A = this chain, B = another copy of it.
């Protein structure tokens, strides 16, 4: 299955006519197809009726306004400029219908992006969504603790073949990508602005590394600025592309909360990494845990979350099983009742341990078999090893 040049250019045009998440555009494009939808807008005269009865389809904001916005941008649009800019950075366009299009984005319904502007391995996205993938998100103002944990989780996830998805910001985003790069490089960054110019600029080196094995993608054309609203809407792609969103470190105001809200809306798993309660950088994570996010402390626990039940159960931390020994309460009490030194009798042990003499005798026998105590002529003492 391939996509014709016409359709590809029409999708690209749509990604330039509207802001991310414009559901009116989604309805029009998904009803008429991108080419016909574009024709309708270009032939539409401001002030005239919206065609095909779309004005009666359940969108809150009047269709007329939407047509006016798209039209305004269409008149100005130089699509070839944006495509040349993409080509200059050796990027490609992936649109719905392309075998490289990640089908999970269709979960976004009318808010589905019209196109992905991709740098890096064009097959990365498909491998990412067909395998197991996790978004690691969090504060730009990460602490050393948060950055270390994000890096280690990403490294371990990659070692187990799990893809990591994040933004391209300072802090947790960058630490996650760095962790993946130090492993096998299964990492995808989703940008809020065009992929021709990396933001923030200090992450340029890291993001270029991603284009070797992973990918850097955006739903907005090359040349577009990473405006604030675009960050928040970009987060829905991070949530949609992964089976679980894991917040590593987040203050009370972190944008990671918006990714979590998208993940919840899409029925994806939401998890948070705890941190010290004395750290303001973990306040958002703890709030999420209070609201029912899954507590995760290791890559194994994250993998458990994105694997079929029974396939990758995380081990329960060692020791948790052996909290209570296999000894019966009576046997433990008999053991506790042994004097520090010297020999004792089952009768004395029985009174101290609160067991019958017969129970004392049988449990002393068990402890003798365990090699803890020894007996002579019906009396018992600790077995001294090495004597």
Contact = CB atoms under 8 A, between A and B. Distances in A.
B69 A356 contact: yes
A278 B149 contact: yes
Contacts of A298: 277
A377 to B, nearest CB: 22
Nearest to A318: B252
Given A72-B350, A149-B278, A337-B227, A252 B319 contact: yes
B273 A275 contact: no
Interface size class of A (residues with CB under 8 A): 35 or more
Interface stretch (A26-34, A86-94, A280-288): A280-288
Interface stretch (A96-104, A175-183, A328-336): A328-336
A265 interface: no
A373 B358 CA distance: 91
Interface string A133-154: 0000000000001001100000
Given A227-B333, A253-B323, A273-B277, A287 B354 contact: no
Contact of A297 (B251, B277, B319): B277
Contacts of A344: none
Given A19-B354, A287-B320, A319-B251, A149 B277 contact: yes
B301 A76 contact: no
B317 A283 contact: yes
A213 to B, nearest CB: 27
A320 B257 contact: yes
Nearest to A332: B229
B301 A356 contact: no
A374 interface: no
Interface of A: 17-19, 22, 65, 68-69, 72-73, 76, 145, 148-149, 225, 227-229, 232, 251-255, 257-258, 273-278, 282-287, 289-290, 294-298, 301, 316-320, 322-324, 329, 332-333, 336-337, 350-351, 353-359
23 contacts: A65-B358, A68-B356, A69-B356, A69-B359, A72-B357, A145-B276, A145-B278, A228-B332, A228-B336, A229-B329, A252-B316, A252-B317, A252-B319, A274-B277, A274-B282, A274-B285, A274-B286, A274-B289, A284-B317, A286-B295, A286-B297, A290-B301, A295-B295
